[in-house]
Structure 1
Amino acid sequence: MPSPLRMLRRRILTPNVAETQLARRGFHVKTPDARELLETVGSRFLEGYAYAMEAGTPAEAETRLETVPARFRGFAYEGAGMGFAMLDGLPLPGRGRVGEFLAGRGARHNYMVYVGIGWAMARLPRFRWPDITGLDPLLRWLVLDGYGFHQAYFRTEQYVHGRHRERSFPWPADDSPGYVSRAIDQGVGRALWFVGGTDPDVVATLIEKFPERRHSDLYGGAGLAAAYAGGVDEAELRAFQDRAGIHRAIVAQGAAFACEARIRAGLLGPHTELAAQVLCGTDAAAAAKVTQDLRPTGRSTGPVPSYETWRQAIADTFTAARS
């Protein structure tokens, strides 16, 4: 049972679930089922966040996170990642919650936890941002993905309809600073799957209103969301693939990341399997293996980070497989 102080902390710091309702956000509603799916994703995210807020230790939160239905458990872990990053960033007793979380069951959900850390960065003042230098140098770009998702989801007018792009963003100086805005765009693209209500035509139209140089990263993020969150049938996935055109390989890369994240966490479901078959041309296990086999072992400090080299190698593999 959480202490009264931690329960109060939860009430004060947890966003209202109404903030995840599509009508409140002004997002497109494709069908009642799609709306229910996306709103459930939001509520489960906040559930995980609340578990972190109430927990005395990350292990306490993990016990409750494991009760969330498999389809939505990754989102709950993402929310908990945000929660622990928020607690680490606030002037509260104790630090290192994120590291402890990632050393436990959170390790299997590291993709989602890293994204959750980015949500916290969007809510905290910069001098309170969590220290990301100890995170995996390859995967920590996902933190910026999470930041971009948050901004597009909650500041939609500015980041989606106004197509705002970060011009100056603090990031480790030796870690390809010129790539920062691209990593954020990948999160914006992932959020567009929600803004567009999982409607492939609406999502593609939103992407195409951005400058062309941003399309690849936006499509990659949307492809990840299509495979991880779902909300579409086979015909809709094929329609989205067709609309992606020259960017269909990076859509496949995003879907492969989703396959790896779900399989690593033991959360593979039919919707991700279907997305792998349509977008990657293979089953989810094979798509995930591509990401594992091509994972870089070294670290690049040039203008193009190893993370982007990895993404492109994955995309090229699916292009070659289809030719």
Structure 2
Amino acid sequence: MASTLRALRRRILTPDISETKLSTRGFHDKGPEARFLLESVGRTFLAGFARAAESQGPDDITTLDAIEPQYRGFAYEGAGMAYALMDGLSLGPARRTARFLSGAGDRHIYMAYVGVGWAMARLPRMRWAKASAAAGDPLLRWLVLDGYGFHQAYFHTARYVRDQHEEAAFPWPADDPTGYAHHAIDQGIGRAVWFVAGSSATLACDLIDRFPERRRRDLYSGAGLAATYAGGGDEGELRTLWNRAGQHRPWVSQASAFAAQARVRAGLVVGHTVLATGVFCDLTPEEAGALTDTAVPDHPASTGPTYEMWRNNVADVFIQRGWY
């Protein structure tokens, strides 16, 4: 009976796989290879979501480790969404996400936090506190909003990308007086733009350059992260993104280093990670990832989120090296 109920829960909660097709989303189709990669990202995300939704608990998803390294992180992102969604909908104690983040999801912690943001985008705001309760690390919690921004741009592309809707006074987190939320959301929108553009660097840059200048740093940063973590661009396209980013290049480098560290931490470095960090950082993924570790602030920021200080610390390394 319990397994039947879990299977029913999976069927009810898991989005339809057709929603991940470029044709369904109306995204640019660059060709079969890029289409396969980007749609595989979506399929694997849903596989991770479905496995978590049907699991007995966060310790029961070890089968995700059989997924090839190229896509495995996206499965854990989907699992993060599922556990946060179930916590948000639960009438009892919300414990799934906390167990996931401290257990199976720890190696994929960045992706797991992003998955929580996906769940928030699907829940009424009155349920956000419960869904996000476990994702309260003061350094990483902004990745939740990155995930929220990605979701909105991916599923509501006309409004968030083409009409450039901006979340001005955002209600989460409630204890942030700086208004940083819209920056973190824009970083997620920038990641989604890479998918909307079908991993075409020229089209991604065209879309970003239509936004007001004040938003482009975060958008280019997001695109650089997606190009490094998800892939889809050859060396020429990565150099196009790099060249078009102009004054925002240090934050493309920063985001590429963050993506590299996410893959290094999880043991998921693949060829396109090496290519992207070479173009964007002039470093190996391991070197770029190590740089992000040494740049973590050793004290809370007094003028804004510590997460933004971390990002700026990494960007400053590349500025000091003249790598822009």
TM bucket by the smaller chain?
over 0.9
Shift of 1:313: 1.4
User: Match for residue 42 of structure 2?
Assistant: 42
CA contact (8 A) 1:176 1:305 kept: no
CA contact (8 A) 2:83 2:97 kept: yes
Q: Counterparts of 1:131 and 1:163 in 2: how far apart (Å)?
A: 26
Q: Counterparts of 2:114 and 2:18 in 1: how far apart (Å)?
A: 22
- Report the residue type matching 2:186 in the other structure: D
Q: Deviations over 1:224-246 (max 9, x none)?
A: 00000001111111111011111
Shift of 1:218: 0.1
User: Match for residue 309 of structure 1?
Assistant: 309
User: Match for residue 209 of structure 1?
Assistant: 210
CA contact (8 A) 1:207 1:219 kept: yes
Shift in alpha-carbon separation, 1:316–1:2, aligned structure 2, 3 A: farther
Q: Deviations over 1:132-168 (max 9, x none)?
A: 4762110110000000000000000100011001122
Q: Deviations over 1:90-127 (max 9, x none)?
A: 13555210100011121110100000000000000011
Q: Counterparts of 1:54 and 1:157 in 2: how far apart (Å)?
A: 33
Structure 2 spans left out of the alignment, 5+ residues: none
User: Match for residue 114 of structure 1?
Assistant: 113
Which deviates further from its counterpart, 108-117 or 311-320?
A: 311-320
User: Match for residue 155 of structure 1?
Assistant: 156
User: Match for residue 57 of structure 1?
Assistant: 57
Q: TM-score, normalised by structure 1?
A: 0.96
Q: Counterparts of 2:174 and 2:86 in 1: how far apart (Å)?
A: 26
Q: Counterparts of 2:91 and 2:224 in 1: how far apart (Å)?
A: 38
Which deviates further from its counterpart, 179-188 or 165-174?
A: 165-174
Q: Counterparts of 1:289 and 1:19 in 2: how far apart (Å)?
A: 36
Shift of 1:69: 1.1
Q: Deviations over 1:190-238 (max 9, x none)?
A: 0000000000000000000001100000000000000000011111111
CA contact (8 A) 1:51 1:80 kept: yes
Q: Counterparts of 2:166 and 2:88 in 1: how far apart (Å)?
A: 25
Correspondences of 1:94-109 after superposition (within 5 Å): 94-109=93-108
- Report the residue type matching 1:322 in the other structure: G
Q: Counterparts of 2:40 and 2:305 in 1: how far apart (Å)?
A: 35
Q: Deviations over 1:279-300 (max 9, x none)?
A: 0011111111110001112222
Q: Counterparts of 1:84 and 1:301 in 2: how far apart (Å)?
A: 33
Shift of 1:67: 1.5
Q: Counterparts of 1:47 and 1:150 in 2: how far apart (Å)?
A: 17
Q: Counterparts of 1:105 and 1:78 in 2: how far apart (Å)?
A: 12
Q: Counterparts of 2:45 and 2:96 in 1: how far apart (Å)?
A: 18
Q: Counterparts of 1:51 and 1:118 in 2: how far apart (Å)?
A: 18
How many residue pairs get matched?
A: 321
- Report the residue type matching 1:311 in the other structure: R
Structure 1 spans left out of the alignment, 5+ residues: none
User: Match for residue 231 of structure 1?
Assistant: 232
User: Match for residue 8 of structure 1?
Assistant: 8
- Report the residue type matching 1:305 in the other structure: P
CA contact (8 A) 2:154 2:192 kept: yes
Shift of 1:72: 0.4
